[in-house]
Structure 1
Amino acid sequence: MSTGMTPQALQGLKVVEMGQLIAGPFAGKTLGDFGADVIKIEAPGSGDPLRNWRLIKEGTSVWWQVQSRNKRSVALDLRSPEGQDIARRLISQADVLIENFRPGTLEGWGMDYETLSRDNPGLIMLRISGYGQTGPYRDLPGFGSIGEAMGGLRHLTGEAGRVPVRCGISIGDTLAALHGTLGVLTALYHRKVNGGRGQVIDVALHEAVFNVMESLVPEYSAFGVVREPAGSALPGIAPSNAYRCGDGGVVLIAGNGDSIFKRLMSAIGRDDLGQDPALADNAGRVRRVEELDAAIEAWTLQRGTAEALAVLAEARVPAGRAYTAKDIVEDPHYQARDMILKQATRDGYEVDVPGIVPKLMGTPGAVRSAAPRLGEDTDAVLAEAGYAPQDIAALRNRGVVA
């Protein structure tokens, strides 16, 4: 596990994370990776449900180990008035509050931004929800998969005429988290140069997805075109697809640049296509995309995956294969760039986890601490907030903290 002796970019930033599962906690993780002190508030007894999602080792999800590294856990009953008072005190001393509850939840606990900012005018509040804090859908429950659907992504995933498929991960939640993190950093800069006041950042899951949908809406506006699913191809860009190899593997080839296309055609022995004036630009290649895809796959089917990739690399044509988890962990490039980290857990075993992105050369991110056990840091965090030991003990006896 990297300890990060170099000062980190967000060192000294205090974050209170009140979210659970993916979107809010991923934003907290990202800030924590770059030095922020992230205090995660969890419900006593159960904690964040992510602790029990997917594959479990020693009683805890291995997903939890990466999602909650560099965080401290406080077990606090937010449904009790005393628990809400404690939360308000922690927030009054924080730079950033992250929450991804349904809109209105914090208001019901007396933690609306107006109230919180009276005690902490510089507070930056990141709110991630299914549909945002305003609008006719704001009160509907929303998960990442629903945001992916409403944002336009699900309609494009899969093959024409078949039920849309998910991309295999909770991409809607993660996109919302990254947009939220960008919002936090932008608001921190604004606070620094414009008088120290904070603000609310309102991120809707579907809007985060929609923001990366490229030309989807402009094409509909200008041409009335509704973009449809196209399997492994990239519609309107050619050639760019996945091609079968003779050993049962698949290579992805992006030969859509004008000069790249000529090198690709030369590499597969089809200079007749590479030198065809009608194929000199993308528009011409799109008109004959089926012919080009057939020519490329005729070549890949005669070769194994490794051989095809070697030839394409020599020709400087962007190409690759679809990596599995095993491929990633064993890949020398991943290892050379510290993208697979060996992380010790609080449960006594080590696990490989993803490295830190992006890579800051002057103030790099680091894994400073393993994911916490539920409530492991309650006493320390409350003591820092000004609670005496006897007060913490009394709160624990009343079940307010754990």
Structure 2
Amino acid sequence: MYNLLDGLRIIEASSFVASPTAGLYCAQFGAEVIRVDQVGGGPDYHRWPVTEANDSLYWENLNRAKKSVALDLTQPEGRELLQALVQSVGQFITNFPADGFLSHATLAEGRQDLVTVRVMGWPDGTPALDYTVNNAVGYPMMTGIGPEPVNHVLPAWDLLSGAYAAFALLAAIRRREQTGLGSEVRVPLSDVAIGTVANLGGVAEVLHNNANRSRLGNTVYGLFGRDFVTKDGVRTMIVVVTHRQWANLIAALGLTDAVGAVEAERGVSFAKDDGLRFEHRDALFPLFEAAIGALDHAAMVTVFDAAGVVHSAYKTMLDAAHDSCLVGDNPIFSASDANPSGLAYPAAGAFGTIPQLQRADAKPAPRNGQHSEEILSEALGLSSGEIARLIDSGIIGIAK
């Protein structure tokens, strides 16, 4: 946790991954992010993984360091309170539909300089999820070895969209500071996905070739990279991204002469050409399979580390959670025992490190409605009697 955004208050009305991620990243850098949910929790409040008591570990980690206001958004009075909060604060992150009571046009009637960032599925408002967008841009047809598509489990487009939305919010706020103008920034998952494909050269590639890229399994496209198995059965990923790493790799494995023979036979030089190493992988991979397969993993690690070769053994997520480098001694993590679930475990804070500033510990997520009275009093000036009436009528929810 850092306080770079101290003094910035943001209303967030969202669910699932992308939009809450935008709020999370702002909160981790010191913004006061107020998440507004339905009384009792929104559609993601019990999303798996959950504890035996049905507390969502997903929810309490995507919503760390935020405050929670609970309103009955099925009732006009509850919706009006959310509108008033957004207009009072002036910064809004959401994945609610572009039309309706949280449309930017409606909200801006009461706050002309309002900044809204809206995470969407498709640009026309059609709903979409990370996993449906991913299959639309073609990646599942490039992974595995076929013929079936292979979906990955990481919600990459959600996470990228959330990060982009946080960036877009700050960019729009800066524009407002310079011009006094508000704006709505719409961030569709589909545009983040296909735009990323284009930024990586994929759209140009397939149009230029008029063909799809071949499926490569665990081979890295355009580089020398693949998984290999050591003598003692440890599967390890090895990737070469510089010419020095290539020279060090073949020297470490004693393959200089064997690789030279392939070069002579095929009339090529691999010394300074990533693409040639990739194109001639049919001749190179068997050499490396044999050399690595003759070494125990510990011996390979010693040799590779001394040579500066980039490698990593495959691990389970449980392995990673017990890894001292990744978690145990990693300063982005801090012990957390104040979680709504009641569980104690390492909690992640800001991913970025600022050497000039002291890092604060990760903060817990709120309980649904934990800050309803505080925020409605401060932001809207509601009296204690009015808040009590709204609680009694079920329009406002409070943590129990």
- Gap change, CA 1:44 and 1:69, over 3 Å in 2: same
Cα distance between partner residues in 1 of 2:167 and 2:359: 16
For these two proteins, the number of residue pairs brought into alignment is: 385
Q: How does 1:200-219 map to 2 (within 5 A)?
A: 200-213=184-197, 214-219=200-205
3-state SS of 1:86 partner: helix
Confirm or deny: 8 A CA contact 2:231 2:292 kept in the other structure: yes
* 1:85 partner amino acid: E
Q: How far does the alpha carbon of each residue in 1:345-395 deviate from its partner, in whole angstroms, 9 at most, with x for none? A: 145442223342122334566456311111111111111121111111111
Please tell me whether residue 131 in structure 1 is matched to residue 115 in structure 2. Answer: no
1:225 pairs, out of 211, 232, 237, with 211
Equivalent residue in structure 1 for 2:256, among 222, 247, 271: 271
How much does 1:219 deviate? Answer: 0.8
The yes-or-no answer on 1:311 pairing with 2:297 is: no
Q: Deviations over 1:254-297 (max 9, x none)?
A: 12422221211111111125554532322322231122122112
Aligned AA (2:302): A
TM-score, normalised to structure 1, is 0.89
Asked if 1:360 corresponds to 2:354, the answer is yes
Q: Does 1:342 align with 2:335?
A: yes
Could you say if the C-alpha distance between residues 273 and 24 of structure 1 is closer, same or farther in structure 2, counting changes exceeding 3 Å? same
Q: Which amino acid aligns with 2:354?
A: L
> Which consecutive segments of 4 or more residues in structure 1 shift more than 6 A?
none
Letter in 2 for 1:198: G
Matched, 1:12 2:3: no
Q: Is 2:166 aligned against 1:173?
A: no
Equivalences for 1:243-392 in 2 at 5 Å? 243-275=228-260, 276=263, 278-280=269-271, 281-334=273-326, 335-344=328-337, 345-362=339-356, 366-367=360-361, 369-385=363-379, 386-392=381-387
Q: Give CA-to-partner distance per residue, 1:209-265, whole Å, 9 cap, x none.
A: 22332121111222223123311111222x111111222221111124222212111
**Structure 1 equivalent of residue 182 of structure 2:** 198
AA of the residue aligned to 2:301? L
SS in 1 for 2:89: coil
Is the 1:151–1:207 contact (alpha carbons within 8 Å) kept by the matching residues of 2?
no
Q: 1:11 to 1:151 in 2, by over 3 A?
A: farther
What amino acid does structure 2 have at the position aligned with 1:253?
A: I
Shift of residue 24, structure 1, vs aligned partner: 0.8
Answer yes or no: is the 8 Å Cα contact 2:51–2:341 preserved in 1: no
> 3-state DSSP class of the match of 2:46?
helix
What residue is the counterpart of 2:103 in the other structure? 112
Q: Residue 108 of structure 2: SS of its match in structure 1?
A: helix
Helix, strand or coil: the match of 1:212? helix
- Quote the residue 1:26 is aligned against: 21
For 1:261, give the aligned amino acid.
Answer: W
| Among candidates 225, 230, 245, match of residue 240 of structure 1 | 225
RMSD: 2.1
User: TM-score, length-normalised on structure 2?
Assistant: 0.89
Shift in alpha-carbon separation, 1:256–1:372, aligned structure 2, 3 A: closer
Structure 2 counterpart SS, 1:251: strand
2:36 match: 41
Question: How far apart, CA to CA, are the structure 2 residues paired with 1:14 and 1:100?
Answer: 18
Q: Secondary structure at the match of 1:21?
A: coil
Q: Please, which runs of 5 or more residues in structure 1 have no aligned partner?
A: none
Cα displacement (A) at 1:400: 1.2
Q: Give CA deviations for 1:310-332 in whole Å, capped at 9, x if unaligned.
A: 21111111111233333323333
> Aligned partner of 1:241: which letter?
R
Amino acid in the other structure paired with 1:307: A
Aligned equivalents of 1:51, 1:347: Cα separation in 2: 11
1:54 aligned residue = 49
Matched-pair identity in % = 25
**Which whole-Å CA distance do the structure 1 matches of 2:184 and 2:346 have between them?**
36
Q: Is residue 252–residue 321 contact of structure 1 (8 Å, CA) maintained in 2?
A: yes
Cα distance in 1 for residues equivalent to 2:138 and 2:358: 35
